[in-house]
Structure 1
């Protein structure tokens, strides 16, 4: 792949019988269809063509409830349900693959065991206190550099270029909100909410804590704060994609009242390989 390719590009394509809003995600070698209208047969055919043109090995379509069985009948598989994604209506993640290695999960049974362990945990609706030595606040544009350093320290690879301060700043300008926790002016933990104001949903993502400060409930504090901010902005659906191999991140969302709605096979390149991601959603109504 040429090195001058962007990491991803969002596009809208209008045909005589369809409209498709999609993301060409070169970093993760996937085509993500975020919305569409028109004839399903034509949309499906065109989506496959686009993926093949760009040598993308995974396609997933956020299908409307009325259409998911039509996509299923064409060979797509249902991998998860984004509950309440479209202004309260569900989105169905319909996936297809063009590569056997991409389709095949290497850790599925281990991930099932982790999920079962998580589902036995008690739900914790109480909000822990912020340690007196730490401060928590909404991030500002000038925090982009420190945020990028935190993400580059934690993740060997990541689905988006969070190690680039210019990219972090760009996401802020486009409406993503970040909460962070500091200890004596050192950034030790952060998380973000990527808001879709058209459909009143938000992805809880970019969760990172320095190893020395884990298991102190910091991520729960950050997610609580982000949810408060989202509710104030009339966002009604929060969701997250958590590494299926991570007990701690899945536990955080389960204990905060998120429900498990599926697993997306080798969905993104994170840490050092394509990983399966568990889908968690929560109604903020």
Structure 2
């Protein structure tokens, strides 16, 4: 099931049953209170368990008064000057309380430790990171079909990949013997000068070779050249592999 992306009063949201939540991706502050009320109504109507939002620090008080809580603070997230807040509002006690908290804390700790398996076992020529083109969309979609059983965005469809690449999302890959072994993307916000590193996927046979880290470092260099101040990703605590990439 693919989630829906909508523009509401100038703000961009993603919502659907895949994650059972609303994600406020971009806030238009012209009518913050009106948007908050609209999101509440949408969450209740659809039975979503959570609203997750990415906002700038000046907007925090409006959301705080509407029972949102801070999940994370990123210094200088917007243009390198204004802090960014990742905040949430829960509509069920079960959704708010993490299950197996001790296990999650252990996974987060382990993610900070360099993996002994992260050994580059192929020649340098096979580890070059290259840009993907719209003509690669078919092969890219096959990779995502093999790696993800489901995904909140339709990245398993070539037509979607072609569209977002034309809209400015940059995809990069590592090829082995001419075929894609690993892939990732960066969504750049040139106005806010931040970039989300996302859509990482490595075929099972090539895992443990550090390809995700190579892709991340390449994208980091790319975004720095474009004047990006902050690069980030959004990953669950249980995603040890992804957290390891960003912590190492």
Normalised by the length of structure 2, the TM-score is 0.86
Q: How many corresponding residue pairs? A: 241
Structure 2: gaps spanning 5 or more residues: none
Greater percentage in helix: 2
Range that drifts further, 51-60 or 208-217: 51-60
- Residue 188 of structure 2 corresponds to 195
Please report the RMSD computed on the Cα atoms of aligned residues, expressed in angstroms: 2.6
Q: How many angstroms apart in 2 are the aligned matches of 1:61 and 1:9?
A: 14
Deviation at 1:137, TM superposition (A): 0.7
- 1:171 correspondence with 2:164: yes
Q: How many angstroms apart in 1 are the aligned matches of 2:127 and 2:63?
A: 49
Contact 1:135 1:183 in 2 (8 A): no
- Residue 62 of structure 1 corresponds to 54
Deviation at 1:184, TM superposition (A): 1.2
- Residue 49 of structure 1 corresponds to 41
1:115 to 89, 108, 111: 108
- 1:102 correspondence with 2:102: no
Matches within 5 A, 1:249-264: 249-255=242-248
Could you report, residue by residue, the CA deviation over 1:101-124 in whole angstroms, capped at 9, with x for unpaired residues? 4333223321211112233549xx
Deviation at 1:129, TM superposition (A): 9.0
Q: How many angstroms apart in 1 are the aligned matches of 2:3 and 2:36?
A: 24
Structure 1: gaps spanning 5 or more residues: 14-19, 256-285
Deviation at 1:92, TM superposition (A): 0.8
2:222 to 205, 226, 229: 229
Could you report, residue by residue, the CA deviation over 1:238-283 in whole angstroms, capped at 9, with x for unpaired residues? 001123223222111111xxxxxxxxxxxxxxxxxxxxxxxxxxxx
Q: How many angstroms apart in 2 are the aligned matches of 1:196 and 1:51?
A: 27
Greater percentage in strand: 1
Normalised by the length of structure 1, the TM-score is 0.75
